Structure 1
């Protein structure tokens, strides 16, 4: 019969959500860029246009969140309906590996910038003499890596350990232990986010350095801020997995959504370890306080 499925592949029905995600993401980024530019220009005409771009950017962000929620909800329904066969799961794993590889490239760009200027720092006039460049730049008082950065490292590594414990519990069909492990992993991730927000507050109000004015601050906030965004996204990813687990969605043999969340969370852990060693410890030089 034509309606009987006689293969292991998944044939997806037409969906509006990929297109809606792409359009809303482009709208948000395009409008945000013009909004920031109008703020920098600080002109009367630009201020009115900037207000419009600000509204469009937030509308694009709202549509983006709704589109992603609807898209991922449909994927969860497909998994619960048994559409994720072994062949499909292999394809999803490979695609997620490629996604994480692209994330490695993104963070690699910021590490490249950091090491470029740390190993060959600019002089005050913007030139690159071998003997006169100073790193960290003059006037920058970097953070003591053995205070709050070390606490954040312990929090995130411990969270990764509980995530692994939850995965092990799912494989052995110990759902209660898996739920506890996931809940603790999520809680530690949120504590990490709050600690990093406090760290940013202390940096800005303490006058150590800022986003503008020197390359150290720009690279620091871009790299650690991007990582912080990944921690927030990963925490939401794990929270969705916890909700699905409590609803009986995962089994010892089929828990693909949790596997992807765990991979993502461990990637976030590894990136932070590189940031901690490279930026907070090695890159601080002798100016840490």
Structure 2
């Protein structure tokens, strides 16, 4: 048994014992402790929270770096490749269920709870006078008025940006399969830039909605579901952009080949998933 380099045979690869899981545990402990202290106005809370984030970032760079080194050294065989693909597939499936719960909440609110509340408003026993079973739902007689976010404008532009980013990523993948490194790098660069532009425009959209439309998290069910769905999607775009930027750096360092490039494929799967979620979100949150 080679503890330093791990165990490698023709079927599977067992890595050497790693310090990164315990480092990650320390990071999570500091983050939880710091958050609890900060919420209770303990002076050291914010610093402990920042320390937890710093340790977590160190763990991510170190652990992912070890995996990249193992991959580049040829330690991973066909069975490990299958395991990675199944692992990424189940991860994306869990993300599908994650968003399905939020879309389910939106569907229930719009098609079931609002009409039922309209029925109760006729009796004037549970709701305020003048309530109408329409979407976006009212927030109450004393709530600040708000204007729903229109589909035309920044949301439509962001839809075009994400669709274009899917095309540039596919073009980069074609370049990788044909061993055209320049096409691969250029396609990844365009995709990262489009993802960054999407996030920038979403921040502008949020500022516009919050300051000019009066659309806030407190704006009833519409405001809550709007920011919940678009916010979590924006977080996934941020994660996907970081993943693709990492793939771009690895590509510039000579990593990946037409035969071995699952790291790139995994990031591409995730990005296309994010694209599909946005299309559904655009239709049911902005358009209908």
CA deviation digits over 1:223-275, x for unaligned, max 9?
Answer: 11111111111111111111111111111100111000100110110111111
Contact 2:7 2:16 in 1 (8 A): no
CA distance, structure 2, for counterparts of residue 133 and residue 34 of structure 1 = 43
Shift of 1:198: 0.4
Q: What is the root-mean-square deviation of aligned Cα atoms in Å?
A: 2.3
TM-score by length of 1: 0.85
Contact 1:121 1:133 in 2 (8 A): no
Tell me which residue corresponds to 1:134: 134
Unaligned runs of 5+ in 2: 122-131, 139-144
Tell me which residue corresponds to 1:202: 208
Name the SS for the 1:146 alignment partner: coil
TM-score by length of 2: 0.86
- Bigger CA radius of gyration: 2
Shift of 1:52: 3.5
Tell me which residue corresponds to 1:79: 71
Contact 2:72 2:255 in 1 (8 A): yes
* Runs of 4+ displaced beyond 6 Å: 1-4
Name the SS for the 1:128 alignment partner: helix
Contact 2:7 2:14 in 1 (8 A): no
Structure number with the bigger relative contact order (C-alpha 8 A, sep ≥ 6) is 1
2:280 maps to 1:274: yes
Unaligned runs of 5+ in 1: 39-45, 283-289
Q: Give the paired residue count.
A: 268
> Higher mean Cα deviation, 180-189 or 200-209?
200-209
Give the direction of change, closer, same or farther, for the CA distance of 1:266–1:29 in structure 2 (3 Å limit).
farther
CA distance, structure 2, for counterparts of residue 212 and residue 34 of structure 1 = 26
The equivalences for 1:35-114 within 5 A come to: 35=38, 38=39, 46=40, 48-49=41-42, 51-114=43-106
Shift of 1:196: 0.3
